[in-house]
Amino acid sequence: MLITISGPPGSGKSTTAAHLAEVFDLDHVSGGDTFREMAAERGLSTVEFNELAEDDDQIDRDLDRRLRETAVEREDLVLESRLAGWLAGEHADMRIWLDAPLDVRVERIVDREQKDLAVAREETRRREESEAKRYASYYDIDIGDRSIYDLVVNTGRWEETAVTTSSPTPSIATTRSVTRGRNRSRASATSSDVAPSGPRRACPSRPTRLRCRQSRQTAGPVGTRGDRVGA
């Protein structure tokens, strides 16, 4: 099973991805950790490295290529990054977008990184603007487009410890439901199977995983699936 977790800084991606990986016994690969490691190797902060990446597109391309290859080659994974859903494309069994109001996200970043509130807010704003600009320029991706995701959750409504308690979060409960549906489908799947939800479309079978979408289970508003695939 391949699950992607995406969202802006401070939305709870890392915590949620780690917990989903634990619940479903999957590995966890974080694009943010990889990016921070690349920045540290050059002796730069994440903000400085983001700004450098605006002039050196090879930084983003190297990172995204590694994440995409991981998504294509592996099936026992929770892949976490801003572009994870786009990069994984139809290889993903479930694509999740997490979000929260800016004030909530900045407070989380302040608590995590022990930064001044005003500094954290400005850095977050600059980082998001920088990334959105690059994604549009390099891949023609509108990071604000939620239509590719199976589940969109406002984590600002969660308690701070919600994703680390035994009570299922919306994303975990929904993922479990979708997974159960897929497991039942695998037992009777044939090469002529089609996705049962929305406009019916042919979907080739794959021995290790059905790539057709099952009926969506949502904990919040979700748009209609778009046809565009990440670079």
Please name the residues in contact with 109: beta carbons below 8 A apart, sequence gap of 6 or more.
Answer: 9, 10, 115, 120, 124
User: With contact defined as beta carbons under 8 Å apart, do 74 and 216 qualify?
Assistant: no
Length of the chain: 231
Is the pLDDT score of 17 beyond 50? yes
Bridge pairing between strands 77-80 and 27-30: parallel
**Alpha-helix runs per DSSP H in 77-204:** 84-88, 102-113, 117-139, 170-188
What region, left, alpha or beta, does residue 101 occupy, with left being phi > 0 and alpha being psi -120 to 50 degrees?
A: beta
Lowest mean pLDDT among 41-45, 108-112, 163-167: 163-167
Q: What is the pLDDT of residues 61-106, one digit of tens each?
A: 888 988 898 888 888 999 999 999 999 998 999 999 999 999 999 9
User: With contact defined as beta carbons under 8 Å apart, do 24 and 3 qualify?
Assistant: yes
The DSSP secondary-structure symbol of 114 reads T
pTM of the complete model: 0.67
Q: What is the pLDDT of residues 113-144, one digit of tens each?
A: 999 999 999 999 998 998 899 899 889 999 99
What average pLDDT is seen over the chain?
75
Q: Hey, what domains does the chain have and what are their CATH numbers?
A: 2-155+167-188 (3.40.50.300)
**Span 166-187, average pLDDT:** 50
